[in-house]
Amino acid sequence: MLNSPLSPSSTELVISVLDMVLSEGKPLDRAYSVHFSGLQLAPSEQARITKVAGDILRRLNLYCFLSDVKPEEMSRLGTRLINAWHLFHELELPKLQYSLPLVEAEYFTRLEEAKKQPALWDGCPEWLDEMGQAQLGEAWAKERAALNTQPKRFIRTNLLKCTREELAKKLRNEQVQTQEVEGVDTALEVTSDSALFRTESFKKGWFEQQDAGSQLVAAAVDAKPGMRVIDACAGAGGKTLSIASQMKGKGRLLAMDVEQWKLDSLKQRARRANADNIETRIIASSKTIKRLKLSADRVLLDVPCSGLGVLKRNPDAKWRDTPERLPVLVELQKHILQSYSRMVKVGGMLVYATCSIMPEENRNQVDAFLAENDHFKFIEDENISVADSGFDGFYLAKLERIAE
Q: What is the pLDDT of residue 97?
A: 65
312-355 tens-digit pLDDT:
999 999 998 778 899 999 999 999 999 999 999 999 999 999 99
Comparing CA positions, the residue from 179, 197, 145 lying closest to residue 312 is 145
Q: Is 355 noted as a catalytic residue in this protein?
A: yes
Q: What is the pLDDT of residue 323?
A: 85
Contact 246, 253 (CB under 8 A): no
Given a cut of 50, the residues of the chain with pLDDT beneath it are none
- Count how many residues are written for the chain: 404
Read off the pTM: 0.94
Q: What is the pLDDT of residue 101?
A: 73
For residue 302, say whether it is annotated as part of any ligand binding site: yes
Residue 241: exposed, middle, or buried by beta-carbon count in 10 A (0-12, 13-18, 19+)?
buried
Comparing CA positions, the residue from 310, 395, 333 lying closest to residue 28 is 310
What's the gap between Cα 107 and its chain centre? 33
Q: What is the pLDDT of residue 127?
A: 95
User: What is the torsional sign of CA 356, 358, 361, 362?
Assistant: positive
Contact 365, 288 (CB under 8 A): no
Comparing CA positions, the residue from 3, 99, 95, 120 lying closest to residue 52 is 3
Distance of alpha carbon 119 from alpha carbon 125, whole angstroms: 7
90-117 tens-digit pLDDT:
999 888 766 677 888 999 999 999 999 9
Distance of alpha carbon 97 from alpha carbon 87, whole angstroms: 18
Distance of alpha carbon 55 from alpha carbon 85, whole angstroms: 9
| 40 conformational bin, left if phi > 0, alpha if psi -120 to 50, beta if neither | beta
Contact 337, 362 (CB under 8 A): no
**Which residue in 64, 162, 305, 355 is the catalytic one?**
355
Query: What are the C-alpha distances in Å from 240 to residues 193, 340, 391?
Result: 27, 17, 19
Contact 88, 82 (CB under 8 A): no
Q: What domains does the chain contain, in order, with CATH numbers?
A: 8-116 (no CATH), 154-209 (3.30.70.1170), 212-401 (3.40.50.150)
Contact 308, 322 (CB under 8 A): yes
Per the DSSP assignment, residues forming a β-bridge with 239 are none
C-alpha dihedral over 184, 187, 192, 193, to 10 degrees?
-120
